[in-house]
Structure 1
Amino acid sequence: MNIARIDLNLLVYLDMLLRERNVTRAANQLGITQPAMSNGLRRLRDLFEDPLLVRTSEGMIPTERAQKLQPQIRNILANVEKTVQTTTEFNAEDSERVFRIIE
């Protein structure tokens, strides 16, 4: 697999799909349309060569492969977030912020 062809947004989609187990709810959580999420799921299925989520009478359930991927995907996304997050520490002595409790 060529890592250059992986869209990181697809990992975000997969994480939300595995949490929600519903395409419409996952799309709503991410602020995208249901067709966009369905397209993302199709691309994920192609990427991983696995259905990932299968529709049943109880809703969508993850495949064995998806269950194994879920903790790894969450770890990857946590690392990406940690890497891009600003790391300015709050120092009360240097702060010029004003906090008003009651006016």
Structure 2
Amino acid sequence: KSKDDLINYAANDLKRDIAAWNGNWLIIGEWSIASPGSANFNNDDDLKRYANTQLKAFKGAHAGWTFWSWKMYDDRDGNQRNGWSMKAMLKKGLIQL
């Protein structure tokens, strides 16, 4: 999938599926902004847009969400661009809460 495919999925399908949920309170578990190589998020603006699009979709999850991990093992100072590391993504401003 391309980066536009992933962003469009989050903006449309994911948001719709969450809004349509009518069971128990919904929690989104273990999400990230890591992506397959085919998506090629080669600049921070695209990665930030992907993160914010997912967060907007998750607003419909009444029980909230959990990110994949706070910090990855190889990211001691939070300076790497790693979509699995909440610490790194917050530090770089790619995820805004």
Say which structure is richer in helix: 1
Greater C-alpha radius of gyration:
1
Q: Work out which structure has the larger RCO, using CA pairs closer than 8 Å and 6 or more positions apart in sequence.
A: 2
Structure 1 length-normalised TM = 0.28
